[in-house]
Structures are given as structure tokens and as C-alpha cells.
Amino acid sequence: MRKGVTVVELMVGLIIMSIVMTGLYRAFSTSRQTAADIMANHTINDELDRTLLRITDDIRESNIIVPGYPAAVEPMEVSTLSTSKDNKLKFEKYLYDYTKDPTELAAGEVNYTKNEITYYLEPEDEEDPNSPWTLQRSMLPFNKLKQPENSQASVYTILRGIRECVFYRLNDENTSGGGNVYIRLKLTRTDADDESKKYSNEITISVKERGANPE
């Protein structure tokens, strides 16, 4: 009866084991990378949803959209719109003081204050024509004399890494969706070397202006 194994048998066993371990490692690495890709894609989707929901709530709480912000375009021009520093969304929120009798107000005084909200975009790198964009939100309060309170103005960043963001309205208010504010927002992953493998998501929404100018 033979005892033990030969050197050849031992080497064959080691080779088989190394092949199996290599296959398991590759399968594990692929699964881990796939899971990381899924999480990164979900992050983009979540950021899109969160940002659009924030803007939607802001618009619905407003009283008026400032004329020209955003500009109205013809339906056939929508596809030609691109991200620009001049493309802005601006609206006003009024806060009424119901404790005051409007007939007893001083000259030039009103029974409300207001906040002027502006969404605008800035390139992350001014020197790079392909630079992603950053979405900013500014707020400028006005007092009861309709004067801006510049010392209380604020600006903060809503979202970075934007590939495309466009605000617009349609020129014909009699058409479906006319008069609504449209927002087109696109995010793209930047961590993939292969351009064809970069995950992108683009969403376009419309929001109805609800409020009215108190004057």
C-alpha cells in the first residue's frame, strides 16, 4: 500500500487549487464592482430627485415668477437650449403681517415682507469649456418699505457636478403646459474612464405657478 502523495500529485493539486481560487477572486471582484456601480448610479438618481423636489417645493410656495426668469421660448427651440450663466429661475415669496390694518400703514409701507429667490448656475472651472456646473440658490429679503436687506442676503450650493441644467417656459400659454416652469436636469458619473460606460440620468419636469402678486 502506497503512503502519502508524490511531488507530481502535490503540484497538480496546487495548480487546481490556484485555478479555483483565481476564479473565486475574479467573481468576488466583479460582484463588488457591480455593487459599487449600482450604488453610484443610485446616488445620481437620488440627487436628481432631491434637487428637483427642492426646486418644485420652492416654486409652489412662491407668489410670482419674476417675468423673464426663466425666459419663454418656442416649443421647437427647447431642444437647442443649453446650460448658461444667464439662464436663471427667479421668484418671490410674500410673508404677510395680518396683525396690521392696511389702512393704518405709513406712507410707502406695505403689510408684508418678501424674499426674492434665484436659482443660477456657475461652471466649476471657468477655464474648461467642458466643466460641470454648480447650482446655486440665493435669497434676498425685502422689508415692509420694499427695500432690499442686502446684509441678510444668503447664497448656498444646491448641487455640484451638473452636466446640464436648463430653466425655461413655453411661449404659448394656451398650449398644454404653457405658463409652467420647466426644468431639465442631467447628471453623469465622472468616475469611469470609458466615456461609453458613464452612467447618466436626465429628467425634465414642469411646475405650475400657484400664487399671485399681492398688488
Residue 37 lies in a domain: yes
User: What range defines the domain where residue 77 resides?
Assistant: 30-207
Q: Rounded distance, CA 177 to CA 113, Å?
A: 31
Ranges of residues in the chain whose predicted pLDDT is under 50 = none
pLDDT at position 97: 83
Cell numbers at 58, concatenated: 420652492
Per-residue pLDDT, 111: 86
CA-based Rg of the chain, rounded to a whole angstrom? 28
Q: Which long-range contacts (CB under 8 A, 24 or more apart) does 162-165 make?
A: 162/83, 162/121, 162/132, 162/133, 162/134, 162/135, 162/186, 162/187, 163/132, 163/133, 163/187, 163/188, 163/200, 164/82, 164/83, 164/133, 164/202, 165/83, 165/87, 165/121, 165/133, 165/135
Q: Is position 10 within any domain?
A: no
pLDDT at 19: 76
25, part of any domain: no
* Tally of domains in the chain: 1
User: pLDDT at position 96, please?
Assistant: 86
Position 7 scores a pLDDT of: 67
148 Cβ neighbours under 8 A, 6+ residues apart: 116, 140, 141, 142
Sign of CA dihedral 94, 98, 99, 105: positive
Decide if 47 is inside a domain.
yes
Q: Is residue 62 part of a domain?
A: yes
Alpha helix (H) residue ranges in 5-125: 7-61
Give the Cβ contact number of residue 90 at 10 Å. Answer: 20
Output the pLDDT for position 184: 94
Q: Per the domain annotation, does 134 fall within a domain? A: yes
- The verdict on residue 215 lying in a domain is no
* pLDDT the model gives residue 22: 74
Q: Can you give the pLDDT at residue 1?
A: 53
Task: Count Cβ atoms below 10 Å from residue 109 Cβ, excluding itself.
Answer: 14
What's the confidence (pLDDT) of residue 35?
64
**Residue pLDDT, tens place only, 98-128:** 887 777 778 888 888 999 999 999 999 988 8
The pLDDT score that the predictor gives to residue 94 is 92
> What's the grid cell of residue 207?
411646475
Per-residue model confidence as pLDDT tens digits over 153-185:
999 999 998 999 999 998 865 655 557 899 999
CA atoms within 13 A on the CB side of 181: 28
Identify whether 69 is part of a domain: yes
Query: Which of 136, 140, 206, 137 shows the shortest CA–CA distance to 168?
Result: 206
pLDDT confidence of residue 53: 93
**pLDDT at site 108:** 83
CA dist 208 and 41 (Å) reads 29
